[in-house]
Amino acid sequence: TPPPEKPATPTAQAPTALVAAPASVAAVDVPRVKVNVGDNGTFTRFVFDWPAGTGYRVSSADGVARITFDKAGQFDLADIRRRLTKSIGTVEAATNGSATEFALALPPNAKLVDRKIGTRILLDVQAPPNGPAGAAKVAVSLPASAAPVQVAQAQPQQAAVPVAQPTPAPAPVPASITAPPKPPAEPLMVPPAMTPVQPITLTAVQAVDKSITIRIPTPAPAAAYLRDDQLYLAFAAPLAADLSAVTRLRTRVEPEQLKATHGSVLRLAVPAGLVPTLSREEQALVVLLRPRGTGRPDSALPITSDAEGGFVTIATSQASFPISLADPDTGALWRFIALPQTTRGIDAPRDFAQVALPRTLSGVLIVPKADTVEIRVTPSAVTIGASLSLSQIPGRPGSVKAYDFAKWQIPDDAFLETRQRLMTAVTESDELRRPSARFDLAQFFVAQGQYPDALGVLELIGRMTPALANDPALLALRGAVRVMREEGVAALPELMDRRLDTDPEALLWRAAASAQVESWNSADDLFRRAGGIPDSYPMPMRAKLVLLAAEAAEKVGDSRRALAYTDLLARPDAPPEARAEAEFIRAKVMLKTDRRTTALPILDRLIASDDRRIRAHAEPVWVEEALKDGRIDRLEAIERLEKTRYAWPGGSLEYVQLKRLADLYIQGGQIGEALRTLREASVHFPQWLMPIS
């Protein structure tokens, strides 16, 4: 049964102020960078979420902190300034086309702490967020590789209410890389037999001009990669090389055979001033080290990239099964693809989301950025992709981002069309890409508030592709769906996966699930660590997370943070029921901080609300305050509580009311009624029973 059509709600595009790129940089090449600003109690946190990651450096002088990024980027400065804490005086930013600087006025005696988590860069300004602001004048100081352009004000559109900021643009893709067709249904290359081992003896000759010729007697396909002065030669055959002739050369070449899987690898030291070139002679590979050479292949292998699917395809025939080797210096996994020809290779380094392809003299070297990257070799191509991974875990960039809801914020009249397009993509995808297409569909349903449909699609992914049943992104998104469905008990085990420990957004949902199971101290700590609620989330989702964070802060006695959270919902586009619940939390904070004159009018409004849930939660609090003031007596209190517990049965709310009713019955000598009430509590809520003294 198709999900119901999404009801129409008014939306509009909020005006934005962006850091503009120089005219020499095409707009598509400059990504928008999402920046979150969070009050973390004792410090202010800035989170720069680059679409494809970047290097950076931090400096401070004369009361101004500067963070310089190694890429051009655009910031929504107007949005950032709206969300600054009191202690941050002002911020500025600029880009010169090759770098971007973000500067801010530091509070007095502030310290800076920075770190990188995946593609996110965190900058903590360690000073009280509500303390005095810095007074330093802020100006950017980028070198002029292109004239820095400060802030351009975008033209506002007619708006009913503001919505979340736009989706960050994707990372730039080189013009020479185009989207490929779907991988052909060709037979896959299988691992070669590694027995028997073939003994070979290398020969070497050194000429008067110090050039060196090394002959390696094997017809096996080969790949060659030069890093600094080390030449790596990979062969698609099990070889046992006698290197003595090379070792006896006057110039030290230091030959060595390295341990490899599905092939053999030799390493040679290239003397200073010499450049390697490769050729074939009869049944041998000849390595010539001479003073002249390009260090590049004669012919570049064609490379295509499917940015949406995350696949990289190298068009080449007769490629070998991947030869695996641990980088002798770093331990990183290398995968060589050997070719029969010595003239074809990677002519320039390529960096993709999931893999890096260094420049080679011959063949291909693949450096995966995740353990789950899969390499498929067919008679006509080498295809690289994470076919069995959906997750974007910090330190493993390049896969699906679990909480990328911004890209699914669409006009209401586009709901049916978008849903149909995503469903069609699922049916038309091949088996390799179908889980990713389903994940997009599930993410779309979540962003549109269609949680039952989203949960059904996510569970289907796990059933149809068992290898993905415990994928971190699947667990992360399914946990969020369960939180939105008020299923914190089921959500928490999924969100507690240790692979999510360093993802701030996963910590946010873990905090929400902890709050739903009333683990208040844990929830409050996790909300602090998460560093704020992303503005890119749909408003109903943000509202739920804000309320859970506010309630956690109220429960642990942090009245300042609880009130700050409730203030976030004092806006016209917040759902009415969320504004009412925020008012209820505010009233409870006021009561705890001896501000009853402010709290009581709020409670009076809430118990007259049309929202049954709010009335059920506010009534017991109002009853306690009315008893204190003598506005009602014990019998009226019992009558009101008996009615209220049936208005919102189940959970800790009813359990607490049953205990309070028992107390009121005992005060009036109604022991039978008290025992009846306590019996109900013990039968329906045994998990919360306390020993009776």
What's the CA gap between 79 and 15, in Å, rounded? 9
> In whole angstroms, what separates CA 548 from the centre of its chain?
22
* Residue 333 is assigned to a structural domain of this protein: yes
Identify the CA nearest to 10 among candidates 542, 539, 568, 545: 539
* Residue 636 is assigned to a structural domain of this protein: no
Note whether 144 and 205 are same-domain residues: no
Note whether 83 and 229 are same-domain residues: no
The reported pTM is 0.47
Note whether 375 and 265 are same-domain residues: yes
Structural domain of 367: 198-385
Note whether 30 and 140 are same-domain residues: yes
> In whole angstroms, what separates CA 104 from the centre of its chain?
26
* Residue 486 is assigned to a structural domain of this protein: no
What's the CA gap between 603 and 240, in Å, rounded? 84
Note whether 219 and 308 are same-domain residues: yes
What's the CA gap between 652 and 687, in Å, rounded? 10
Considering 333, 361, 385, which residue would you say is the last residue of a domain? 385
Residue type, 510: R
DSSP characters over 400-428 = --TT--GGG---GGGHHHHHHHHHHHHHH
* Residue 181 is assigned to a structural domain of this protein: no
3-state per-residue secondary structure call for 264-319: EEEEEECCCCCEEEEEEECCEEEEEEECCCCCCCCEECCEEEECCCCEEEEECCCC
Identify the CA nearest to 614 among candidates 638, 586, 584: 584
Residue 407 pLDDT? 86
Name residues whose C-beta falls within 8 Å of residue 691's C-beta, 6 or more positions apart in sequence.
none
Asked whether the beta carbons of 418 and 433 are under 8 A apart, the reply is: no
Asked whether the beta carbons of 222 and 234 are under 8 A apart, the reply is: yes
* Residue 159 is assigned to a structural domain of this protein: no
Considering 385, 407, 432, which residue would you say is the last residue of a domain? 385
C-alpha torsion angle, residues 214, 220, 223, 228 (rounded to 10): -30
Note whether 40 and 103 are same-domain residues: yes
* Residue 471 is assigned to a structural domain of this protein: no
What's the CA gap between 298 and 342, in Å, rounded? 9
Name residues whose C-beta falls within 8 Å of residue 303's C-beta, 6 or more positions apart in sequence.
176, 177, 312, 313, 314, 315, 346, 350, 357
Helices 576-592/539-555 angle, 10° precision: 10
Note whether 371 and 231 are same-domain residues: yes
Note whether 95 and 148 are same-domain residues: yes
Ramachandran angles phi, psi of 402, nearest 5°: -65, -35
Residue 15 pLDDT? 36
Residue 546 pLDDT? 94
* Residue 214 is assigned to a structural domain of this protein: yes
CB atoms within 10 A of CB 612: 10
Please tell me whether residue 131 adopts helix, strand or coil conformation: coil
Domain CATH number, residue 51: 2.60.40.3500
Question: Cis omega (within 30 of 0) on the bond before 196?
Answer: yes
E-state strands within 70-170: 91-95, 100-105, 111-117, 120-126, 151-153
Give burial (CB, 10 Å; 0-12/13-18/19+) of 336: buried
* Residue 421 is assigned to a structural domain of this protein: no
The number of folded domains in the chain is 2
Note whether 118 and 48 are same-domain residues: yes
Q: What ranges in 163-263 are assigned the alpha helix state H?
A: 244-247
Note whether 118 and 203 are same-domain residues: no
Note whether 123 and 34 are same-domain residues: yes
CA 220 → CA 212, 257, 285, 435, distances in Å? 22, 16, 9, 38
Average pLDDT along the chain, 693 residues, taken 10 residues at a time: 43 40 46 82 83 83 88 86 85 84 90 79 86 82 49 36 38 36 58 87 89 94 94 95 91 91 94 92 91 87 70 89 91 92 92 86 90 80 68 36 86 90 87 81 93 93 80 91 93 91 91 93 92 89 94 92 90 88 91 88 88 87 90 90 80 84 92 90 75 43
Considering 359, 385, 411, which residue would you say is the last residue of a domain? 385
Residue 431 pLDDT? 65
Percent helix / strand / coil, the chain, rounded to 5: 35, 25, 45
Note whether 315 and 238 are same-domain residues: yes
- Tell the residue number behind the tokens 């149809």, with chain if given: 464
